[in-house]
Amino acid sequence: MTTPIFSLKNVSKGFGSTESRTDVLRDINLEINDGELLAMVGFSGTGKTTLIKLLAGLETPDSGTLLFKGQPITGTDPKRGVIFQNYSLLPWLTVTGNVGLAVNQLYRDRSKKERREIIEHYIEMVGLSDAMFKRPAELSGGMRQRVSVARALSADPECLLMDEPLSALDALTRAVLQDQILEIWKEQQKTVVLITNSVDEAILMADRIIPFTPGTPSTLGPAFKVPLPRPRSRRSMNRNDLFKRLRNDIIHFLESEKKKTQAAVEDDRLLEIKQAS
Amino acid sequence: MKQKLINVLDLIGFTWLIPLVRLATREEPGEQIKQFFTMVGLPVIGLVLFFVAWGVVASNIKTSVGNLPGPKKVWNSAGEMMTQHKIQKDKRAKHFDKEAARKQKYEEKFPGKTYEASQFTGSPTIVDYVRTSLITVFFGFFMAVLIAVPLGVLCGLSKNFTAAINPIIQLCRPVSPLAWVLIVIVVVDGLFEFKGDIWRNTFLHAAITVCLCSLWATLSNTALGVSAVAQDHLNVARVLNLSPLKKVWKIILPSAVPYIFTGMRITLGIGWMVLIVSEMMASQKGLGHYIDLLYQNNNNESLAKIIVCIFIIGAIGFLLDRTMFVLQRAVSFGREVSA
């Protein structure tokens, strides 16, 4: 077995100073294999974004070890491309400018012409050649996210960390972009970590799905392998028994965990009432 | 075509013309007439009422130099000032024609020698004063921007730097231009003491005073803009491992540009206000100096001319503000800008 591209051991992360501190993630143990498409699902507020930031090197863990290809992660690295939930495009730059920001930074030794070609190549890859000189304000949500994908890809990263990249989009655009991301993943053979709040999206796209337990601090649930053959068609999915069972299992896990935490909160409250009376 | 024209009008701040364009293409005529009335009709009514009230009141206000001039008298004064300007302009043209002819003759007579032309010595007119004032205010304004933007960026980037210079800023900001101008006069005169009289009578005194009084708005707005850069944009810079210098140049500064322009708009407004006072006190040029001269004349005719100057000052201030507003909108990329 090859070494995993990411490996996390007992990683915990919290925010705030000692007194008003909230732990967001606790005891995260995770190995991500090279080239796999891993989806992570969870309710909002369960530290999904925090995990992506840890993997990207934008945050450092409070405890535990965090390895990228066997080396501890000490900071950001263009090899780990990030696609942010709200696109994070620079509003004063055109599509070319936004992608160019990454290309000009990472291909400094290339000539202007070569860089130009690289920029155009990635814009074409996400199908935005017609909008090259438009600014983000003139683009739809789906187009903006495609620019963000092109920018991340143009750095030729070894993995793509996607933080709910599609959750702000309407269902139709979402489906189109799902296919596009899958195509790029297949073509480029990059590891993809996809954070999502949609179980269906996870099953449709991923090799493996790991749920977050609800509430804070959150940790990871058991991994669900998705043995469905690719390409997976949205229409046949709904009738596929394996798909249905997987979806049931994952939703069941998330809900039962939620009930558990709610029950725990309830217990605490009862205890308080008892003690008070 | 129509939408393009409307966009252009909107961009250059001529929003009041938009209903007319729409009206011309018969788009909801009733609505357009209503809009045009609120945008143009009401302001005109307001102005007319103001002039009528002024005319009525003026004849009843006694000043030390006769009655306060009414609108009609002021209008005539304005006309007279323009006539003066035309006369001076003709004189000037004639003077230079004569000089050119003399020069030619001289050079024919004494080949190889250079002719020393005599200067034109006519008195400056209102147009000259306005021109000088505009040059002065822009000189001071650009000085202010050149100082304030880098300082503001440093303030926005470093809390420690802000803490260090904040007391100075807070102390200097409320100081009246009248206080600054005296120091400026002394310092500038000192600097040029041995460089001949020509240096003493420059627009520098007024320009430096303008700069000192107006730079604070740009400084604090730049600092605000720099510290308000979206965390997402900073994350982009971090993921790409941009160097600190590149981060400032490619992410922070462009993102702060709308704030910087807001500051510059305020700076130019304050600068124009401060200019008149400092020209009155410090220089022998510009509108402020002209008003001072008129005041020294101490007669009713001059009082009317002072009122003309006040209208000119107001109109130029308004134009400068609109220009800055248009620029501010152009760099804001869809974000709202308050008119």
pLDDT tens per residue across span A78-114: 889 999 888 889 988 999 999 999 999 888 889 999 9
Mean pLDDT, rounded, for B106-126 = 81
A-chain residues near B233 (CB < 8 A): 88, 90
Of all helices (H) and strands (E), which one includes residue A197?
none
What is the band of B59 on the pLDDT scale with cuts at 50, 70, 90? confident
Q: How far apart are CA B327 and CA B312, in angstroms?
A: 23
Q: Answer yes or no: is pLDDT of B60 > 80.
A: yes
pLDDT tens profile A22-56:
888 888 899 999 989 999 998 877 888 889 999 99
Main-chain phi, psi angles of A25, to 5 degrees: -120, 140
> Which pLDDT score, from 0 to 100, does residue B32 have?
85
- Whether residues A91 and B334 touch (CB distance < 8 A) is answered with yes
CA distance A77 to chain B (A): 6
Residue A100 confidence (pLDDT): 93
Select from A98, A84, A99 the least CA-distant residue to A165: A84
- Which residues of chain B does A137 touch, with a Cβ-Cβ cutoff of 8 Å? 333-334
Q: Tell me which chain A residue has its CA closest to the CA of residue B331.
A: A92
* Cβ(B287)–Cβ(B279) below 8 Å: yes
Q: Please give the pLDDT value at position B51.
A: 94
* Candidate from B102-116, B137-151, B279-293 with smallest mean pLDDT: B102-116
How many angstroms separate the CA of residue B239 from the nearest CA in chain A?
5
pLDDT band at B190 (very low <50, low <70, confident <90, very high): confident
Contact list, A81 vs chain B (CB under 8 Å): 239
Q: How many Cα atoms sit within 13 Å of A182 on the Cβ side?
A: 18
**Stretch B158-182: mean pLDDT, rounded?**
91
A266 CB neighbour count, 10 Å cutoff: 11
Contact A233, A263 (CB under 8 A): no
What residues of chain B lie within 8 A of the CB of A106, using their CB? 240
Residue B240, min C-alpha distance to chain A (Å): 5
The model's pLDDT over A238-266, given as tens digits with 9 standing for 90+, comes to: 788 888 888 889 988 888 877 777 777 77
CB contact under 8 A, B239 and A91: no
Contacts of A56 in chain B (CB under 8 A): 239
Q: Which residue has the higher pLDDT, B28 or A56?
A: A56
Residue B198: pLDDT over 60: no
**Is the per-residue pLDDT at B114 higher than 90?**
no
In the stretch 242-271 of chain B, residues with CB closer than 8 A to chain A read 242, 246, 250-251, 254-255, 257
Q: Does the distance separating the beta carbons of B241 and A78 come in below 8 Å?
A: yes
Please indicate whether, in this complex, the C-beta atoms of A105 and B240 are within 8 angstroms of each other: yes
Rounded to the nearest angstrom, the minimum Cα separation between A11 and chain B is: 21
Look up residue A128 and give its DSSP letter.
Answer: -
Nearest to A91 among B238, B246, B333 (CB): B333
For residue A59, what is the nearest residue in chain B, using CA coordinates? B235
3-state secondary structure chain B: CHHHHHHHHHHCCCHHHHHHHHHHCCCCHHHHHHHHHHHHHHHHHHHHHHHHHHHHHHCCCEEECEECCCHHHHHHHHHHHHHHHHHHHHHHHHHHHHHHHHHHHHHHHCCCCCCCCCCCCCCCCHHHHHHHHHHHHHHHHHHHHHHHHHHHHHHHHCHHHHHHHHHHHHHHCCCCHHHHHHHHHHHHHHHCCCCCHHHCCCCHHHHHHHHHHHHHHHHHHHHHHHHCCCHHHHHHHHHCCCCHHHHHHHHHHHHHHHHHHHHHHHHHHHHHHHHHHHHHHHCCCHHHHHHHHHHHHCCHHHHHHHHHHHHHHHHHHHHHHHHHHHHHHHCCCCCCCCC
Task: Find the angle CA(B262)-CA(A91)-CA(A121) to the nearest 5 degrees.
Answer: 150
Q: Which residues from chain A sit within 8 angstroms of residue B261, using beta carbons?
A: none
Contact state of A76 with B242 under an 8 Å Cβ cutoff: no
What's this model's pTM, rounded to 2 decimal places? 0.81
Do the chains contact at B240 and A82, CB–CB below 8 Å?
no
A-B contacts at Cβ under 8 angstroms = 51
Instruction: Name all domains of chain A by residue range, CATH numbers in brackets.
Output: 6-79+157-276 (3.40.50.300)
CB contact under 8 Å between B240 and A106, yes or no, is yes
Q: What residues in chain A have their Cβ under 8 A from chain B's Cβ atoms? A: 56, 58, 75-78, 80-82, 84, 86, 88, 90-93, 101-102, 105-106, 135, 137, 155
- Condensed to tens digits (0 to 9), the pLDDT of residues B262-282 reads 999 999 999 999 999 999 988
